[in-house]
Amino acid sequence: MEPKASRIQFLLETEMRYMRVCLQSGGYILVTINGIQELASASESQLRNYELIGDGRGISWPELDEDLSVMGLYKDFPFIGGEDQKQ
């Protein structure tokens, strides 16, 4: 089963910025924003201006001209809680 995002939460208060990609099946992927070159220098308002695309299969930042697949994030970053779909 392919992971799909339901919403994104941002944790931007520290030097190491994160986004929590909440999955429709429960749990979330914890993504280090600084680990994604295209997002690392984005402002808070640019990061918060996102759209879920493909029924939650992707995340798009139109202002940054950047799209990421949830599956790619799922493979590259820690999954926490919920149903693990990596099986």
Q: What percent of the chain has pLDDT over 90?
A: 82
Pairing of strands 66-69, 51-53: unpaired
Q: How confident is the model over 12-34, as pLDDT tens digits?
A: 987 889 999 999 999 999 999 99
Short-list 28, 33, 29, CA closest to 13: 33
Q: How far apart are CA 20 and CA 47, in angstroms?
A: 12
Domain ranges (residues) in the chain = 5-80
- Output the pLDDT for position 84: 55
Backbone Cα Rg of the chain: 12
Q: What percent of the chain has pLDDT over 70?
A: 93
Q: How far apart are CA 80 and CA 30, in angstroms?
A: 7
Mean pLDDT of the chain: 92
- Output the pLDDT for position 87: 45
Report residue 58's pLDDT band, with 50, 70 and 90 as the boundaries.
very high
Q: Which CATH class is domain 5-80?
A: alpha beta
